[in-house]
Structures are given as C-alpha cells and as structure tokens.
C-alpha cells in the first residue's frame, strides 16, 4: 500500500496534446512537441482556456482541504496555480485516481457557483503517482509547497 498519492491536473486548454513543453499521452508516457497535433487539439476546444485568478485558486485549495476533512484523508500539501493543481494526499483504501477525480468534481461545483456560464474547468484525467516512503513524501511536499515559484 502506498504511503500517499501525488496528483496533478491542469486547467482546461492550458496544456494540449502536442504542446511545445512536451505532453503526456495515456499509456505512452511523455511525448515530444507536435505542432500539428497541438493545432488540431486547439481547434477542437469547446471553450476558451481557463486561467484561475487568485480568488479561484484559494477556493480550489479550500475545497480540497474541506473534502479531505470530510473523507478523513490526510492532506499533506495542496498548491493551486493559475493553470494547474498539485495535491499530496493519503487516502487509505482508495484507488489512486479516486481522490483526484473527487477533487476535480467538487472544485468544479464550487467554481460553477461563482461562474455559472463555464462548463469545462479541467483537462480530462490527470497524473497520479504513488509515494512509497517518507523521504519521497518529504521531497514531493517540498516541491508542491516551495518549488512552484522557481
């Protein structure tokens, strides 16, 4: 059993397939930039890309903390940025993707209370990693809390 999970997901439209920074393809891992694929993905977007403002970022972090309290999950770290979210959580007896899916759903509900015209807040899925030891946990927590502004 993992000690914790490290989940990351992006806001809608901010990191498309083919992105110049590279991109993650499910089952295939990190992929190189692909200008045509990126253009095709941009043309398929149903709405403008989402950039969260400070108030929205605070709401996301509070929603995640509140959800962890309700579920009795240990929240080790959360950091909502303008275009992505990082969470480190221990959620015993849950599949690795369950916390991320629940966080995204509850954050969507809370964000929609303030901006009812938007439907798409997040990209599909996200990335979840197992954290199996205390040293790795400490490193990931430091990255989430301190490494985002570097």
Q: What is the CATH number of the domain that holds 52?
A: 3.30.70.1290
User: Would you say residue 56 has pLDDT above 90?
Assistant: yes
User: Could you read off the pLDDT of 92-145 as tens digits, one per residue?
Assistant: 889 999 999 999 999 999 999 998 888 899 998 899 999 999 999 999 999 999
User: Would you say residue 58 has pLDDT above 80?
Assistant: yes
Q: What is the pTM of this model?
A: 0.90
- Domain with 62, as residue range(s), is 4-14+48-149
> In terms of C-beta distances under 8 Å and separation of at least 24 residues, what long-range contacts does 115-120 make, across chains too?
118/47, 118/50, 119/46, 119/47, 120/12, 120/13, 120/46, 120/47, 120/50
19 occurs within a structural domain: no
56 occurs within a structural domain: yes
Q: How many domains does the chain have?
A: 1
Query: What is the per-residue pLDDT for 14?
Result: 93
- Average pLDDT score, the chain: 93
110 occurs within a structural domain: yes
38 occurs within a structural domain: no
Residue 36: exposure state from Cβ atoms within 10 A (0-12, 13-18, ≥19): exposed
């Amino acid at each position: 059993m993992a000690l914790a999970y490290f989940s990351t997901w992006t806001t809608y439209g901010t990191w498309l397939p083919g992105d110049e920074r590279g991109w993650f393809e499910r089952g295939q891992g990190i992929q190189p930039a692909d200008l045509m694929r990126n253009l095709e993905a941009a043309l398929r977007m149903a709405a403008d890309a989402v950039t969260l403002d400070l108030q929205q970022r605070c709401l996301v972090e509070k929603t995640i903390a509140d959800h962890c309290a309700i579920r009795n999950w240990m929240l080790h770290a959360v950091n909502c940025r303008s275009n992505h979210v990082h969470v480190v959580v221990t959620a015993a007896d849950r599949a690795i993707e369950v916390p991320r899916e629940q966080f995204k759903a509850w954050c969507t509900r809370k964000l929609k209370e303030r901006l009812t015209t938007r439907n798409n807040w997040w990209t599909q899925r996200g990335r979840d990693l197992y954290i199996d030891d205390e040293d790795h946990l400490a490193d990931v927590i430091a990255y989430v809390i301190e490494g985002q502004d570097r």
